[in-house]
């Protein structure tokens, strides 16, 4: 099998692993004693407005009293539910990474249930670009380090990206597996194309994650995680 076929297959596996790890939903919930459905919705909408994020009401509430979802193209991605039971309301949010936790904490502070122990500064999108171009593993580590919306398994994914990038470098520097390692002659062009395309693909979700981090950091609130 030609090297190009193996290279694209390996790159696809790495990207699938990255996407699954960074976009699977994580849920967080908050209890608001003494609040009605309408009061809880109002608290959630205040935080959404501060995040400069729209949330579209959904007809399918999955048993909740109210549900809304941010648009697909939104920087902050949330699926929010509000339910009530006797004299208390419950707010739940599902989101990629820990955006759900960050949102719940922001609503808790809006409701006077904070502050929490962690506060975060904004991250540099330029540093994200530079680190990712140097190494996708380094870019991923920078994006998730000291972030309220970090991935749950940062170390595992960082290691996977490092090993995957090294494998792509080795494989794409050959024309065929029968040839020797030659990164600066015959293998230079495919190596640059493959590694460049891989970095560009990784940079997209990392940039969105940094922008989401900066939205939450800009609220100047504290967070549990």
Residue that the structure tokens 């039971």 belong to: 85
- pLDDT reported for residue 194: 84
- pLDDT reported for residue 114: 79
Count of domains observed in the chain: 1
| pLDDT tens track for 36-70 | 999 999 999 999 999 999 899 999 898 899 999 99
Calculate what percentage of the chain has a pLDDT beyond 70.
Answer: 87
pLDDT < 50: residue spans in the chain: 1-3, 20, 22-23
CB atoms within 10 A of CB 22: 22
pTM of the model: 0.85
Q: For residue 11, what are the domain limits?
A: 1-225
- pLDDT reported for residue 43: 94
Residue 27 dihedral angles phi and psi, to the nearest 5°:
-105, 150
Which letter, b or e, does each residue of 74-112 get, where b requires 16 or more Cβ atoms within 10 Å of its Cβ?
bbbbbbbbbbbeeeebbbbbbbbbbbbbbbbbbbbbbbe
The whole-chain average pLDDT of the chain stands at 85
């Amino acid at each position: 099998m030609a090297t190009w076929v193996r290279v694209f297959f390996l790159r696809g596996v790495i990207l699938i692993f990255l996407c699954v790890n960074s976009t699977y939903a994580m849920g967080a919930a908050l209890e608001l004693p003494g609040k009605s459905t309408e009061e809880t919705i109002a608290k959630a909408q205040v935080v959404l407005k501060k995040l400069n994020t729209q949330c579209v009401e959904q007809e399918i509430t999955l048993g909740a009293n109210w549900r809304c979802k941010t648009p697909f193209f939104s920087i902050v991605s949330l699926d929010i539910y509000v339910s009530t039971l006797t004299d208390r309301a419950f707010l739940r949010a599902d989101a990629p990474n820990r955006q759900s936790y960050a949102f719940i904490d922001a609503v808790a502070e809006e409701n006077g249930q904070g502050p929490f122990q962690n506060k975060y500064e904004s991250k540099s999108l330029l540093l994200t670009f530079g680190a990712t171009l140097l190494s996708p593993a380094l870019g991923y580590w920078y994006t998730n380090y000291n972030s309220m919306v970090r991935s749950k398994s940062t170390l595992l994914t960082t290691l996977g990206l490092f090993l995957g990038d090294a494998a792509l470098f080795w494989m794409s520097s050959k024309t065929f597996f029968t040839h020797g390692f030659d990164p600066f002659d015959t293998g230079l062009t495919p190596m640059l194309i493959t590694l460049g395309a891989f970095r560009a693909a990784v940079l997209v979700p990392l940039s969105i994650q940094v922008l989401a981090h900066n939205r939450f950091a800009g609220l100047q609130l504290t967070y549990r995680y």
